Structure 1
């Protein structure tokens, strides 16, 4: 899980009352990295390290910096700006537990409005504002005392990742080749977070209440306020309104309108042709018909063909002393129930990979992981020893399938209860991660995910996209079609 940060510390205005620019030819961007790590820590960590995956650094600190520079170079090649982009980078102790962790965060430290070449009355992230204005808008402004008050992007990553109590054993993979295995691919994570800092974020709206930042940049306000450039391209299919035309209350509702908020920017809509047909799960009971179900493949385990047989479904019974469904080794009754079948296991307490590994050890041939709240899930985690497929489904779908399994039992024989058979297929009439008009969807789960909701692509996208709320193992370090939609969105807002 990652969070995206934003500060109101330095929201600024430049009134474009006179032309201050001449015509300037566009050039490739330049990204300057400023470390704020103390001696012996972060980028300065002297711990010896063996070169890995094309990263030839010989200390942990050197390898961290090499990845940072490598990823910055990718963004430089994809963006045009005559003004250097300044990034403040640091390694810090971020929130984490044994089962979850904030990997890192990034955001535009300064935001600007009403500068030359901007849309009137719109907030912009600093790097994009500078690009459009053709000058560094913070030049001559004293630092705010933080030491990074005039940077364009501020980033921080979890220095404790992989240590006891912080996803023990799952460290950042510092290679440049994508072969992270069960580790966390730092290059992809950093590419994602810098995307936020460059502008892949709603920036000026508090999604918990829909409030916008006021014109002075000092506070969120219930009415009025200044929209961000993002709001020009956010359209709620249920309300049939753009965020530009919504009240704060309407924006709050839209931020949790699962699969209801589309991005209308022309570059992204054109690029959405890369999205595949929507994957669906079909379940066939002995009698009656069940509706098709959308699913998301887990980040771990094997990948099945889009059209595949899955097997007979099964359910678990509650085990004495269990901490959560599927979180402990299965008892004899559950082993008998799932052997050779596909159990439906509800989310909760332990990680998805733990549940699937316990099911695998019990003889299951696959697992359906049902959400425990409304909305879709894309099960994350890692365990290279998992050899069976697993898939995330909604809470409603899980409940319906569990009921169908129970209802099917009387339709069998004396020796073999009736079963529900599941298979995988696709719906060629729908694009995975897009609305009915082919416009890519933003992430709006029914329970607000602070820092994630609205400022990511939806988890239903296929192929997986860089700017989804989770880093998936199949990501490349490409930001444009035919691999990804990050650059098209950035172009929509002015890059």
Structure 2
């Protein structure tokens, strides 16, 4: 998935292991970082650096390790286990270009079933959780419970997202860089059990046994658990866009304290015609959140391209600026980032921004971060954008008679189904490494375990900010 233009994959990565070990974390569990890098590489990179954001390391390798230890400490203080959790980790060159990159990957190193004290028979559990439940290490010969690797080239080379590397500070002040501690918290969660072991693309359980994950995935249309489905039913459920939810008492119990009301856009006015009504929208990770009072104004199109689209990737023309001033600007997705579009329409005096998608699929949010953005922004679907443009095309630029209100629906929680269970990420086109194994991108507040790292995330894994700990509790932590 795209996170600050970077691909965040979440699956176990096979790699060779070195022997040096670094202990980390205090609290209810101990999380140990196993350094798999060779001398002068990764955690052992001797490149001098200045301390940053509470990270006191004086070499690049030291700072990487301190960031790992910090993330491990957060999970250690959150979990409970008598068996130390070993994370085999390394920084290695991974795929990247000037605009996109693989940030890293992680997952359970091994899975176990029918171990001592196993809560469910004939069911797969990830290595760290199986060891916790058994009260004894299930991993053979000191093998790690979690394997993880991250991109050692990110932001450091002209062919690997130059200028957008990992922020190694511990204080969340990452600016336009990628917050490494947040990425680590996300990936460690996968290794702890925020993943299934059934093939999501075929629906086939590994060695014909379900995973504990399958006992909590529920198709919210049929109200049928994955563990009770056949392979084809699971395959279809994994492509259902909004049809798959998490059915667990800890997560569902905390949903009302963590998630906020669903945002919506209501279109009205004497000239709105067939476009009248409420529209599903995706929230932006920048700008102010919407509230019940709403932000109202005439909906005005920005048109700055020969093909009739309005990208707002440069300062608005005088005509476009006059149209959006004091109103809600409708712009098209593409060409530049969402924060760039928001800044240009804000500079032109718009009260809010609506981005019409350029590809079919479920409505998702607008990523990015810029503290100077002071207007709300939302995304609408291709179909919604087409309907609105059709009625706007017939009206004068100066006054459309079509009113938009960006507000919230107090009766719905963002990212949930009709039973107020949080939905999972299941796009209509299967997304390897992301489908099924993440929360929906519709959640608000943005959640750590969405398929992309949002700029507004902080180093929290539990309620009232986040549902990740609750999900791990549902599977046995």
| TM-score grouping bracket, smaller chain normalisation | 0.7 to 0.9
Q: What corresponds to 2:83 in structure 1?
A: 83
Q: For 1:277, which of 261, 274, 284 is the aligned residue?
A: 261
Secondary structure at the residue paired with 1:292? strand
Matches of 1:165 and 1:339, distance apart in 2: 40
Q: Deviations over 1:99-153 (max 9, x none)?
A: 3333222111211122122211111111111111222222348xxxxxxxx2211
Alignment of 1:237-256 (within 5 A): 237-256=220-239
Q: Is the Cα–Cα contact under 8 Å of residues 300 and 384 in structure 1 kept in the other structure? A: yes
Q: Is the Cα–Cα contact under 8 Å of residues 270 and 401 in structure 2 kept in the other structure? A: yes
Query: Does the C-alpha gap of structure 1 residues 107 and 280 become closer, same or farther in structure 2, counting only changes over 3 Å?
Result: same
Matches of 1:416 and 1:464, distance apart in 2: 36
Report the TM-score, using the length of structure 1 for normalisation.
0.83
Query: Does the C-alpha gap of structure 1 residues 65 and 347 become closer, same or farther in structure 2, counting only changes over 3 Å?
Result: same
Query: Does the C-alpha gap of structure 1 residues 104 and 340 become closer, same or farther in structure 2, counting only changes over 3 Å?
Result: farther
Which stretch has the larger CA shift, 481-490 or 328-337? Answer: 328-337
Matches of 2:199 and 2:356, distance apart in 1: 29
Alignment of 1:2-13 (within 5 A): 2-6=8-12
Matches of 2:155 and 2:13, distance apart in 1: 28
Q: Deviations over 1:413-452 (max 9, x none)?
A: xx84424222222212111122111212111222322211
**RMSD between aligned alpha carbons?**
2.8
Deviation of 1:98 (Å): 3.3
Q: Is the Cα–Cα contact under 8 Å of residues 286 and 456 in structure 2 kept in the other structure? A: no
Q: What corresponds to 2:202 in structure 1?
A: 209
Q: What corresponds to 2:170 in structure 1?
A: 176
Matches of 2:85 and 2:244, distance apart in 1: 31
Matches of 1:296 and 1:392, distance apart in 2: 5
Matches of 1:111 and 1:208, distance apart in 2: 20
Q: What corresponds to 2:131 in structure 1?
A: 130
Q: What corresponds to 1:395 in structure 2?
A: 382
1:189 aligns with 2:160: no
1:311 aligns with 2:297: yes
Deviation of 1:75 (Å): 0.8
Matches of 1:391 and 1:482, distance apart in 2: 24
Matches of 1:465 and 1:124, distance apart in 2: 24
Secondary structure at the residue paired with 1:206? coil
Which stretch has the larger CA shift, 75-84 or 43-52? Answer: 43-52
Query: Does the C-alpha gap of structure 1 residues 292 and 476 become closer, same or farther in structure 2, counting only changes over 3 Å?
Result: same
Q: What corresponds to 1:39 in structure 2?
A: 39
Q: What corresponds to 1:56 in structure 2?
A: 56
Matches of 2:371 and 2:97, distance apart in 1: 21
Deviation of 1:335 (Å): 5.4
Query: Does the C-alpha gap of structure 1 residues 310 and 42 become closer, same or farther in structure 2, counting only changes over 3 Å?
Result: farther
Which residues of structure 1 form unaligned runs of 5+?
10-26, 142-149, 215-224
Matches of 2:128 and 2:461, distance apart in 1: 18
Report the TM-score, using the length of structure 2 for normalisation.
0.86
Query: Does the C-alpha gap of structure 1 residues 75 and 458 become closer, same or farther in structure 2, counting only changes over 3 Å?
Result: same
Q: What corresponds to 1:13 in structure 2?
A: none
Secondary structure at the residue paired with 1:211? coil
Q: For 1:429, which of 402, 411, 432 is the aligned residue?
A: 411
1:366 aligns with 2:366: no
Matches of 2:145 and 2:322, distance apart in 1: 58
Matches of 1:324 and 1:104, distance apart in 2: 35
Alignment of 1:67-106 (within 5 A): 67-106=67-106
Q: For 1:227, which of 203, 210, 218 is the aligned residue?
A: 210
Query: Does the C-alpha gap of structure 1 residues 385 and 160 become closer, same or farther in structure 2, counting only changes over 3 Å?
Result: farther
